[in-house]
Structure 1
Amino acid sequence: MSSSSTSLAISENETPLDNIEQLELLPGVYDNYEGVIVEMKDPMDPNEFGSLLRASLSQWKQLGKRGIWIKLPIKLANLIEVVVKEGFVFHHAEPDYLMLVRWISETTNSIPANASHRVGIGAFVMNSNREVLVVQEISGKFKGTGVWKLPTGVVNEGEDICEAAIREVKEETGVDAEFVEVLAFRQSHRSFFTKSDLFFVCMLQPRSFAVQKQNSEIEAAKWMPIDEYADQTFVKKNSGFDYVAKVCLAKANNNYTGLSAIPTYSSSGKKTYLYSKLDI
């Protein structure tokens, strides 16, 4: 038996059909949706892999399985063609692997689509002198425009919105800050290739004030009077930026309440944040 294959035992929750023998199958685990997840790890001859894949698909179909997932690390890229020839399609990819999927059931395909959104933050940081922390970027659409904007960035995988805002402010300006609340958020489409974007405007309280710009991404960074920031021609001519500036001004004038990050816990103890005006 190959080190890359195994006999996939039928779990206690499965009801085997009549006359199904225990066959040598690709390594896999059953998911909660009548699917199978195969995570390939070891090298395998493409012809041997193809034979095992076809045998596995046949038995999984008899068992009533539906979505079949195959995860191929980049070192096994030579197996991609074999999988595609068996009717699989690309679902998503990361730097170190490709995930392919095939719906083998006669029922309606209910495979969930790949992630539809990217998440970003903008950080509104204001000191006691009503000065807001702003930057000019080295690259991107604002390069060379002279526009002063809020520090922005993308939320990393597994990172909370509130933590991302703190990190981006520190990276771009060197300022330590504490998350206060989400002031507003915006959804836009086809922002990153075909993906949509969720952008959260967050208010932070500065804990340090010396500005040290990030040389790789930031042309300049400084504290600017909030009224001067809001009065920039670019801001006033672009409704999205103008509205965000108005929200920030309202908050600065104590006429606006955002959403606080409320820690909550699942039954398994997993911590997540609920953003709400109600702090219980």
Structure 2
Amino acid sequence: MKIVNTVAEVREQVKEWRKQGLTVGLVPTMGYLHEGHKSLIDRAVADNDRVVVSVFVNPMQFGPSEDLESYPRDMDRDAALCEDAGASLIFHPEPSEMYHDDFSSFVDMSTLTGGLCGKTRPIHFRGVCTVVSKLFNIVTPDRAYFGQKDAQQLAVIRHMVSDLNFGIEIVGCPIIREEDGLAKSSRNTYLSPEERKAALVLSRSLKLGKKLIEDGEKDARKVIAAIRGEIEKEPLAKIDYVEIVDWNTLEPVESTEGEILTAMAVYIGKTRLIDNFIK
């Protein structure tokens, strides 16, 4: 496995692989990798001859008061995980490599991005779409892999790929959880022991909502109210949103019938965590 820092090096390596007739998978990440990321790399290795993992904390998707500077980073640890999982190449650029001084082109979307996380993170998805588009143009993969934990991001990327004719297969992979149910996240490292225990309210409340739907509850408002009620029992939790939306359009729904996404963002102390399930 190689680690490279420049666009030119990635393109040269991919060019060599293409000459050999090899398929290429891409796993975009912001680093500080965990078992959730490893599951994406494992799937990519199974599906493709070669796998590129990008490790880049993208400044464009962070708002002014968000955690860009404090976002956890550990390149040695990331490299070890990638190598163990069978990745072929890590692309680890500096921000200046991705965004030159007079950078002024962006990829934006007028649907799917206004609700859920987009309500409180208004510039986030423009940053996501821009950096992912750049990675697609740099790596030119056959397939790219994204986790369901960031369900809105997965939906946005799929829509962008269709709109812009990238010709890349987008593969969504299941949420990976701790044994006690907490969804794996790089931001879990921010939690104190007390907050880590309190964070279980996310998966616990979603489990309650899922059971209500499975038991036949069709009124989305009642399911949302039950989920919110469970979260509000936890003193350290502050709800950003709890919503049930159509999985294809991300528009709110009144009924739990059809393919729906039940999603939440909750602050545990100062740490914003997300979780969801798709039915």
Normalising by structure 1, we get a TM-score of 0.21
Answer with 1 or 2: which has the greater Rg. Answer: 1
Larger relative helix fraction: 2
